[in-house]
């Protein structure tokens, strides 16, 4: 039996020594991720913190003065440190298939939304505009609907239901790396994944 175990061990060692292919995933490194806390009390319609979304209500009074607020921070999981985060903002027309409202919470636990509230991944696109680069955290933002529309060169008169204003983030690590591309599995709210690569406010029309 001992000879059999020794033979198998030698065979495994031999196979390992013959490995000729090196895969990119074997060179993985760690990163930090943005963390967003939405001020749910400022949303014109009820929302959930885990959904990372706020709402403007086109059926409400004085839509231009309605507010969207969030706090931006980061988590390096004890491995990485953030030097700065670039904050981008953009206006998007409604998708062909939009998340329903009210927000439906997933099971088990009834904690996370059953669908991501904004398209994934949260990568900065050509229509997104650099708002600022943050170096001191946490950083809190508060905007009115009018201010966000001005930032994105839009007018309230042209806004349609389910259009949205989105903030996206690029992370600059202390070691010089710039994390500008995110995969779908880094910040999908419907799965409770770590990090928040984007957050935003969606226009709805709900009688209250």
Question: Average pLDDT in the 56-84 region?
Answer: 97
5 lies in a domain?
no
Question: Average pLDDT in the 184-195 region?
Answer: 88
What per-residue confidence (pLDDT) applies to 200? 98
What per-residue confidence (pLDDT) applies to 185? 81
48 lies in a domain?
yes
What per-residue confidence (pLDDT) applies to 2? 46
Listed as own residue / partner, the contacts of 186-190 with beta carbons closer than 8 Å and 24 or more positions apart are 186/33, 186/121, 187/33, 187/120, 187/121, 187/122, 188/116, 188/120, 189/50, 189/51, 189/52, 189/112, 189/113, 189/116, 189/117, 190/106, 190/112, 190/113, 190/114, 190/115, 190/116
* Residue 11 confidence (pLDDT) above 50: no
Total number of domains in the chain = 1
3 lies in a domain?
no
83 lies in a domain?
yes
156 lies in a domain?
yes
Question: Average pLDDT in the 72-78 region?
Answer: 97
pTM above the 0.85 mark? yes
> Domain span at residue 155?
22-204
Per 3-state DSSP, what percentage of the chain is helix, strand, and coil (rounded to 5)? 20, 30, 50
Q: Enumerate residues 6+ apart whose C-beta is below 8 A from 202.
A: 53, 54, 55, 56, 117, 162, 163, 164
4 lies in a domain?
no
56 lies in a domain?
yes
What per-residue confidence (pLDDT) applies to 8? 44
15 lies in a domain?
no
CB atoms within 10 A of CB 101: 18
Predicted confidence (pLDDT) per residue in 126-156, tens digit: 999 999 999 999 999 999 999 999 999 999 9
């Amino acid at each position: 039996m001992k000879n059999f175990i020794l033979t198998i061990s030698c065979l495994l060692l031999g196979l390992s020594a013959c490995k000729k292919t090196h895969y990119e995933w074997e060179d993985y490194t760690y990163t930090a991720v943005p963390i967003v806390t939405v001020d749910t009390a400022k949303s014109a319609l009820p929302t959930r913190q885990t959904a990372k979304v706020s709402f403007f209500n086109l059926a409400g009074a004085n839509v231009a003065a309605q507010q969207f607020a969030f706090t931006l921070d980061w988590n390096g999981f004890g491995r990485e440190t953030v030097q700065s985060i670039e904050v981008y903002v953009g206006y998007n027309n409604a998708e062909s298939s939009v998340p329903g409202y009210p927000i439906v919470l997933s099971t088990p636990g009834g904690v996370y939304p059953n669908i991501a509230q904004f398209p994934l991944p949260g990568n900065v696109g050509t229509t997104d505009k650099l708002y600022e680069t943050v170096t001191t955290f946490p950083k809190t933002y508060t905007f009115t609907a009018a201010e966000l529309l001005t930032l994105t060169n839009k007018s309230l008169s042209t806004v349609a239901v389910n259009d949205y204003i989105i903030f996206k983030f690029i992370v600059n690590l202390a070691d010089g790396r710039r994390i500008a591309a995110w995969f779908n599995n880094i910040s999908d709210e419907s799965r409770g994944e770590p990090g928040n690569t984007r957050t935003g406010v969606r226009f709805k029309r709900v009688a209250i």
